């Protein structure tokens, strides 16, 4: 079972693409805007754009950015 990310750390982390807050769900952090999912490995958030899991309605990061005006 994944460990919760420290609330103080989670409060300052943002999605590197949308700049929105993140929430933890299991072993991922999910961006409040757009729903990008970032893995947590060995209790360390991996907030790299190339590591983000896209929502089902987008096949590329460029498509995601276009849909969200980024």
pTM: 0.89
Question: Starting at the edge strand that comes first in sequence, how are the strands of the sheet with 44-45 ordered?
Answer: 22-25, 28-31, 37-41, 44-45
Q: What is the residue whose two structure tokens read 């990061």?
A: 61
User: At 38, which CATH number?
Assistant: 2.20.25.10
Q: Which domain holds residue 35?
A: 7-67
What confidence tens digit (pLDDT) does each residue in 34-53 have?
A: 999 999 999 899 999 999 99
Does some domain include residue 21?
A: yes
Residue from 14, 50, 18, 52 nearest 34 by CA = 18
Does some domain include residue 63?
A: yes
Distance CA 64, CA 42 (A): 28
Confidence (pLDDT) at 37: 98
Quote the tokens at residue 18.
Answer: 């949308």
Domains contained in the chain, number: 1
List the Cα angle 59/2/26 in 5-degree steps: 40
């Amino acid at each position: 079972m994944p460990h919760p990310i420290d609330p103080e750390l989670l409060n300052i982390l943002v999605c590197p693409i949308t700049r929105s807050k993140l929430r933890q769900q299991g072993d991922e952090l999910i961006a409040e805007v757009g729903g990008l999912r970032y893995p947590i490995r060995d209790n360390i958030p991996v907030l790299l754009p190339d590591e983000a899991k896209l929502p089902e309605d987008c096949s590329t990061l460029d498509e995601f950015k276009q849909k969200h005006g980024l």
